[in-house]
Structure 1
Amino acid sequence: MSRYRDEAPLRARIPADVERPDRVVFGLTWRQLIILAVSGLVLYAAWSAVASVVPPLVYLVVAVPVAGLAFFVAVGRREGTSLDGWLLAALRYRRAPHRLVPAGEPITSAPGWVSTTAGPGDRLPIPAPLRLPARGITADGLIDLGPDGTTGLVRASTVAFGLRTAAEQNGLVAAFARWLHSLDGPAQILVRAHRVDLTQLAGRLLTEASGQPHPALEAAARAHAQFLTELAASRQLLHRQVTVAVRSRRGPGPTSHQAAEAVRALAGCEVAARVLDPAEAAATLADALHPSANPAPAAWPPGTRSNESEQW
C-alpha cells in the first residue's frame, strides 16, 4: 500500500508549438518557400522584360525593397498569426459586410427614398444574411451542421483533482487519456465560467426563516443567510460549465454513439456526464451566442452528483 501511496504524479511535457508547420529548408515552411519562390520569379520576369531599357542599378533600387517586403510577409508574424494570413484576414474583413441580420432569403435592395451618408453614393448599405454553421437540432439533440455532419453535446461535471493523492491523480489522468486515445473524430471541450449571485438565495432564506417550527432553526436560517450575503460581498463566486462536443460526418448514428461513449469514458474519470436533449442543446447554443448571459446550472439526473460547488 505504501508503494501506491508514495507514487509520484504523472507529468507530461506538451510543447507550446505543437501546431507549428514543419520546417523544410533553411528553417522555412512550404508556405514561406512558395511566397519567396513566387516573388523571385516575378522579379526575374520583370527584369527579363525591362533589361534592355533599364540599367541594372536602377532596377536593383526598385527590386530590393520589393524583395524585402516579400521576405517580411513570408517570415513575419503578428499576434501569433503569419503575416500573409493576417493580411488576408484583414482583406476579407474589409470586403465582408459589417451588418448581418437573420434572414432565410436574400435581402432585397432598400427603397429609393432611403438615403444616408454612411454608404457609397449616399445610399444605405444593404445588410447581408447571417449564416451560422448550425442548421438545426435533430430529435436526438444533435446539432445539424449540413455538409460538416452532426455534433453531439455532453454536459460534464468537474473533479477536485488537487485534493486527490498522487495515485488517484494518476488513475484519473490514465482514464482521461484512454478516452482521448479512443477518439476517431473531432472533439472539443468548452469550459465557461459564470458569476453566481447569492442574493436571491439569501433573501429566500430570510423570507422562510420566520416560518420554521423551532427558534433554533430560525436562527440557523438567518445566520446562513447572513453568511451568504457576506460571502457574495467579499468573494467573486464562479460557476463552471463544462461542455464536450463530438462531431462526425458519417451521420447521426455514429455521432450519438460517440456522445454515449464519451459519457461512459468520462465516468471512469469520476466525471458525471450526460448527453443533452434537444431543448438543452438549443439553450447551450443560445448561451454561446450570448457570452455575457449567466445560464442556470443544468439539472443532473438522480443518482449523479456535480462537483461544481468545489470550484467556489
Structure 2
Amino acid sequence: MSRRDDEAPLRARVPADIDRPDRIAFGLSGRQLVILAVTGLLLYAVWTAVATVVHPLVFLVGAVPVAAAAFLLAVGRRDGVSLDAWVLAALRHRHGPRRLVPADRPIIPAPAWVSTTGGPGDRIPLPAPLRLPARGITGDGLIDLGADGTTGLVAASTVAFGLRTPAEQNGLVAGFARWLHSLDSPVQIGVRAQRVDLTYLADRFLTAAPGLPHPALEEAARAHVAFLADLAGQRELLHRQITVAVRSRRGAHYAAHKAAETVRALGGCEVPALVLDGRDAVARLATSLDPTAPTRIPYAPSDGGDDR
C-alpha cells in the first residue's frame, strides 16, 4: 500500500447556520432589532397615553407578556425558520384558499340558482387559481421562472464513497469542494428515496427470454426473473433519485451553460450526471409531485429513466 493510501480522510466542519443573517447589535439581526424596537415604541406610546389613569404596576403586568411575546417572535425559530416568518406563513395558510385549480383567469362565482352550500350557514368556498413558480419548460429542459430567472435540471448518480481508499476519498472531496467554490448562482440538490417496482423489469426479461440464441441463456433469464420476484417479495427496495437544479437570472443561455458546467464538474468527482431535456425534465417534476408512485427500473439505458 502506498503512502498516499494511508492518508487520513479529509474532514470539514460545516456550520449549521450558514444562512444566518448578519448581526448588527447585541447579537441581533436587523429584523430582530426592528421587531423589538417597534414593540418598545408601541409600549411606550401606550404608557404615555394611560400613565395618568393606570397604575405603573398594572401597566407592567400587561406589558410583560407583550414584550415576552415580541422577544420570542424575534429570536425564536421553528423547523429552521424564524418564528415571525413561520407565524406569517401559518396565517397565510389559515386564511388562504384550500382548493387550488389550474386556471389562467379568476374563478367566476356560480349563478344564484346553483346551490353552493353544504348545509345551513355552511357555504362552499370557491377554488382559487393555482399559481406555480414555473411558467413553462422549453425543449432543452430549461424551466422558465419569470422574474426569478431560468433553471436547468441535472440528473446525478451516487458514488460508493465508503469503498474508496483515503486518497481516493480525498480526491472526491476536493473535486466536490472545487465545484461548490465555483458556484456564483443558486443551486439546489434534491435527494428523494422512491420505492422500486421490479415487476416491470422482470416482465421485460420474461418476454425476451424465448428469443435468446441459446437455451442456457433462456434458462438463466428465467432464473433471474425468479430472483427478482423473490427479492421484491422479501424486501422493500428503494432507489435514490438525485436532481441538481441550477438557477440563473442571466437568461436561458447562461442557465444551460451552468447546467453543462455542473455535469463536467461532477464528472471530475466521478459522479455520472446528465442534463435533462424537456421530456425528462417534465417527467422528473411529475414524479416529484407524486412521491408515493413506485419507480420502474429501465430495461436498457436507451429506455431512459432515473438510473442514467
Length-normalised TM-score, structure 2: 0.88
Equivalent runs, 1:120-159 vs 2, <5 Å:
122-159=122-159
| Pairing 1:82–2:93 present | no
In 1: Cα distance, 2:58 partner to 2:306 partner: 72
In structure 1, how many angstroms separate the alpha carbons of the residues matched to 2:271 and 2:301? 12
CA offset at residue 25 of structure 1?
A: 4.1
Q: What is the identity, as a one-letter code, of the residue corresponding to 1:147?
A: A
Stretch deviating more after TM superposition (284-293 or 71-80)? 71-80
Q: How does 1:95-106 map to 2 (within 5 A)?
A: 95-106=95-106
- The count of residues paired between Structure 1 and Structure 2 equals 306
In 2, Cα distance between equivalents of 1:301 and 1:205: 16
1-structure distance, mates of 2:119, 2:110: 12
2:237 maps to amino acid: L
Asked if structure 1 preserves the Cα contact closer than 8 Å seen for 2:297 and 2:307, the reply is no
What is the percentage of aligned positions where both structures have the same residue? 70
The equivalent residue for 2:288 is 288
**C-alpha contact (below 8 Å) 2:259/2:275 kept by paired residues:** yes
Structure 1 gap ranges (5+): none
Is 1:246 the counterpart of 2:251? The answer is no
Distance 1:122 1:16 in 2: 47
Q: In the superposition, relative to structure 1, how do residues 119 and 154 fare at CA in structure 2: closer, same or farther (>3 Å)?
A: farther
Residue 33 of structure 1 deviates from its aligned partner by 2.6
Map of 1:111 onto structure 2: 111
Q: CA distance change for structure 1 residues 189 and 67 in 2, over 3 Å: closer, same or farther?
A: closer
Q: How far has the Cα of 1:103 moved from its partner?
A: 0.5
* Alpha-carbon separation, structure 1, partners of 2:139 and 2:130: 24
Displacement, 1:238? 1.9
1:196 partner SS: strand
Deviation at residue 37 of structure 1 after TM alignment: 1.9
Distance 1:253 1:242 in 2: 23
Q: Distance in 1 between matches of 2:37 and 2:120?
A: 39
SS in 2 for 1:193: strand
| CA displacement 1:15-61 (0-9 Å, x = unmatched) | 22333334444443333332222212111111111112222233223
The DSSP-based 3-state class of the residue aligned with 1:115 is coil
Provide structure 2 residue ranges, at least 5 long, that are not aligned to the other structure. none
List aligned pairs for 1:194-233, cutoff 5 A. Answer: 194-206=194-206, 209=209, 214-233=214-233
TM-score by length of 1: 0.87
- Tell me how far apart the structure 1 counterparts of residues 132 and 272 of structure 2 sit (CA, whole Å): 30
Helix, strand or coil at the partner of 1:250: coil
CA distance in 1, matches of 2:20, 2:27: 12
Alpha-carbon contact 2:107-2:126 (below 8 Å) kept: yes
Give the aligned partner of residue 275 of structure 1. Answer: 275
Deviation at 1:204, TM superposition (A): 4.7
Root-mean-square deviation (CA, aligned residues, Å) is 2.8
